Structure 1
Amino acid sequence: MSLNNASQDLADFIQASPTPFHAAQSLAERLRAAGYQQLDERDEWVLDDDGRYFVLRNQSSLIAFSLGQLETLQSAGLRMIGAHTDSPCLRVKPQPERNRHGLWQLGVEVYGGALLAPWFDRDLSLAGRVTCRDGSGQLHNLLIDFKRPIAIIPSLAIHLNRDVNSGFAVNAQTDLPPVLAHSIEPGRDLRALLASEVTTQYPEREPMQVLDYELSFYDTQPPAVLGLDNDFLAAARLDNLLSCHAGLTALLNSDADQACLLVCTDHEEVGSSSACGADGPFLEDVLKRLLPDEIERIRAIQRSVLVSADNAHAIHPNYADRHDGNHGPQLNAGPVIKINSNQRYATTSETAALFRHLCQQVDVPVQSFVVRSDMGCGSTIGPITSSRLGVRTVDIGAPTFAMHSIRELAGCRDVEYLITVLTAFCNCSEV
């Protein structure tokens, strides 16, 4: 895949994935198109050598795997790539309706560690999962996406807040409810609006009652390649759909000789502690079904390696002092190995060396990141998965600016670099 094609394909993936539910659906659609067979955790699994499969949990987390030959799985283990489907955002509350001063608003809850200031004055839409009941009393989980701009969070004019440019603390309760409409029409009800949208998006289905929902606001501005030399990709949810896309592309590009697995889980931005998160049993449950014998499973895991892929902080030219002087990754200079002696990242010297070796083999530049010693360090699914499974792990990621903003920035060359090295990892028979 060429540089331009890689960035455009990532942009298309992001545009189709405004929520974790849509991201998992996008992954599943691409896997089906490549011949992967969907499994159901409630069924008995009969897996073939050379089989290619995927399984969804909660419609927001996905595991896909290509088995290769059974003896290869047992003798060489799995090449695993981990990422997450969720991103910081604004989630709609259960009883969100607000009618204030002639305007209809929805109350929101901040999901994850979002940069809040960039959410103001954006053209917002709404997407997510709704749970409905049909006329016979059956429940259905359906994904919806309004797609068009239906909301905005207007800034307060500088005339009414003269000190705003000296610092503005956003109050998540009072400052963030988006404006959707005039409240001239009495008794506006979100569930009725959602029911109407379900009928529009699923015309083949009978009208249904919306019982509950998990909805997120998102920016409708599409991804864009920008810069004088088209060096950069600006988009929402680069953290961490960039890694989901790179892992999926690597899996599909691999030669399928080596057993490979892609795990993309929800709820990383809020700690991963859920039935479908990295701190839940999803991956372990799947591995138990791939390798039912406990001893053989332990042996295979000890021959395996996990690449935990999650974006890294590139050195910002206006804030270079926020980085350690010797560890300032640059955009378009290759994937970043993330290291923390306090185990916020799971990288070891062994796994870092393996990743560097792979990068050298495919002529991909590689960088390192260590947080300043006087600053706190974020974390990833790497330490969680490594500690639950006992699998060797390296934490890496594409360098980005504005992480957790409504619009983030990455280097176009880094998209291709990450796909290239992850494909080499999937094809690596000895680690």
Structure 2
Amino acid sequence: MAATLKPNAPEIRKAAQEFINYLNKAVTPFHATQEVKERLIQAGFKELPESGHWDIQPTSKYFVTKNRSAILAFAVGGSYKPGNGFSIVVGHTDSPCLRVKPISHQKSEKFLQVGVSTYGGGIWRTWFDRDLSVAGLVIVKNGEKLQHKLIDVKKPVLFIPNLAIHLETDRTTFKPNTEIELRPILETFAAAGINAPVKEDPKGEYDPRSIVSNHHTQFLGLIAKEAGCQPEDIVDLDLYLYDTNKPAIVGLEDEFISGARLDNQVGTYTAISGLLESLSAPAFQSDPQIRIAACYDNEEVGSDSAMGASSAFTEFVLRRLSAGGSTTAFEEAIGKSYLISADQAHAAHPNYPAKHEENHRPTFHGGVCVKTNVNQRYATTATTHAILKQIAFEAGVPLQDMIVRNDSPCGSTVGPILSTKLGLQTIDVGCPQLAMHSIRYVLFLKFSFNQFIYSEFADTSSIFQATTLYSTFYERLATVLANIQ
């Protein structure tokens, strides 16, 4: 039973370490999607082309991707017929970060710099004094063909140093100008061997595919080397900055997970892990449902994209899965379906206890948090909550309640978006964590009874608890729904 396992139990440690292994590779939405894709293929899933014909068979497993940054996997139950329901768990692959601008060459005080855009609601002060690298997607030309290349430089190549405290006029408040003061340093003029950076002009006839004049020669050369091509072959790129300080299991008793992108790689990883784990049980052979795990991009900026939860992509997939039944098979299926939106939740912070509602204070190792907001920032209802309580009871996984204070702003998730667009009964859940949207979380120490008590990031128990909950959800949903009066 997950509720009785201690934070340092072998099952907890194993699940947390496997997540860390994944997180170390999932440095961008593209890399996260690729890692999920490889796990699915190893488990016998078949990739389907979005633009091709689908021939869906019971007990078979499939996945489809969008923009290489979102993925939707599904396993067809042995008793599935068009018009039957969908058991869905969703997460998202993106996190707040800095992304390279289309024209990135900048310079100041004999430093070459790279222009970046702020993506999402990041805690931008945490990006200072970090060893940053760059990764993402590069599109190159090969004759008349265009090829996609996934790259990860891995080594620290970009830096945003803080201003010395002696030069600060306000030493108590730090709010950087994100356009001017958040420009990473790439190289000095001296190291580049130049007196001043020169914007290169395209050689020969104008080619709209060329981007050599948009970036520093040194930067584009670095990217081209990783992509295995020449700089002039690069047609476009989508690059993300990230902290090279690797995620890890930490703490006096190895009970914490320290790392960036926990929001929301925890949701993505546990949704996929729960789906894969559920398929080993005999119940899959007779399941009337299709089990789905979806991981979207662009949640951090509102989900309004082709690969985001606001697009018609999910509806298109579900309609294709309902094909072959009656003319109302899709609509019939919606009424037999249930969706879990798995996105991180706020644990009660030991240094800011007044920021949390007095009766809703999620703790580490306390279980998966159910997020409720009567203003519909979360999609949880009494019915969907009751259904998950029954599944959690059968799974042996504890649940916690989370709401925000009336005098505090509230975030949101893809849950209300999908619930609204598809008419799906939905619940919002998440694993507890601290310092959400920080590039690298701060370690807080509290001295008590001559021992150090660590309180940071996320807890190791969450990975095992969430995976177990979602696996049981896939296995038991059809039965639980059938028993509702």
Q: TM-score range by the shorter chain?
A: over 0.9
Q: 1:132 aligns with which of 132, 137, 140?
A: 140
* Alignment pair present for 1:279 and 2:287: no
Deviation of 1:360 (Å):
1.6
1:191/1:66 CA distance change after superposition, 3 Å: farther
Is 1:426 matched with 2:474? yes
Aligned pair 1:237/2:261, yes or no? Answer: yes
Query: Quick one: distance in 2 between partners of 1:48 and 1:180?
Result: 52
Q: Secondary structure at the match of 1:427?
A: helix
Render the CA deviation track for 1:327-348: whole Å, top value 9, x for unaligned. Answer: 1111111000000001100000
Does the residue aligned with 1:43 lie in a helix, a strand or coil? coil
Separation of aligned partners in 2, 1:202 and 1:95: 19
1:196-215 aligned at under 5 Å gives the runs 196-197=221-222, 200-203=225-228, 209-215=233-239
Residue 205 of structure 2 corresponds to: none
Match of 2:182 in 1: 176
The alignment partner of 1:2 has SS state of: helix
Tell me, what secondary structure is at the counterpart of 2:80? helix
Q: Cα deviations across residues 227-272 of structure 1 (Å, max 9, x unaligned)?
A: 1111110111000000111011111101334320011000000000
Q: How does 1:111-190 map to 2 (within 5 A)?
A: 111-134=119-142, 136-161=143-168, 163-164=170-171, 166-184=172-190, 185=192, 186-187=197-198, 190=215
Divergent runs of 4+, >2 A: 69-75, 183-203, 205-208, 255-259
Cα deviations by residue, 1:74-119 (Å, 9 ceiling, x for unpaired)? 44x1110010000000011111111211111111111000011111
Percent of aligned pairs sharing the same letter: 39
Does residue 18 of the first structure (1) align with residue 27 of the second (2)?
yes
Deviation at 1:169, TM superposition (A): 1.4
Q: Pick the aligned partner of 1:357 from 384, 390, 399.
A: 390
- Residues 114 and 198 of structure 1, relative CA distance in 2, 3 Å threshold: closer
1:34-183 equivalences in 2 (<5 Å): 34-71=43-80, 74-75=83-84, 77-134=85-142, 136-161=143-168, 163-164=170-171, 166-183=172-189
1:278-315 per-position Cα deviation (integer Å, ceiling 9, x unaligned)? 00011111111111254111111211100000000000
Of structures 1 and 2, the larger Rg is shown by: 2
Aligned to 2:7: none
Partner of 2:5 in structure 1? none
Amino acid at match of 2:313: F
- Opposite residue 6 of structure 1, the aligned amino acid is A
Which amino acid in 2 is paired with 1:344? R
TM-score by length of 2: 0.85
| Superposition pairs of residues 345-384 of structure 1, within 5 angstroms | 345-384=378-417
Partners in 2 of 1:71 and 1:222 — Cα distance? 43
Cα 1:197–1:157 shift into 2, 3 Å: closer
Amino acid in structure 1 at the alignment position of 2:77 = G
The secondary structure found in structure 1 opposite 2:383 is helix
- Note the aligned Cα RMSD (angstroms): 1.8
Correspondence for 1:270 = 301
The partner residue of 1:250 within 274, 295, 307 is 274
Q: CA deviation at 1:213?
A: 1.3
The count of aligned residue pairs is 427
Distance (whole Å) between structure 1 residues aligned to residue 24 and residue 217 of structure 2:
26
Q: Hey, what's the Cα distance between the residues in 2 that align with 1:96 and 1:217?
A: 13
Q: Is the 8 A contact 1:50 1:66 kept in 2?
A: yes
Correspondence for 1:33 among 22, 42, 46: 42
Partners of 2:227 and 2:411 in 1: how far apart? 41
Which residue of structure 1 lines up, in the alignment, with residue 203 of structure 2? none
Letter in 2 for 1:277: G
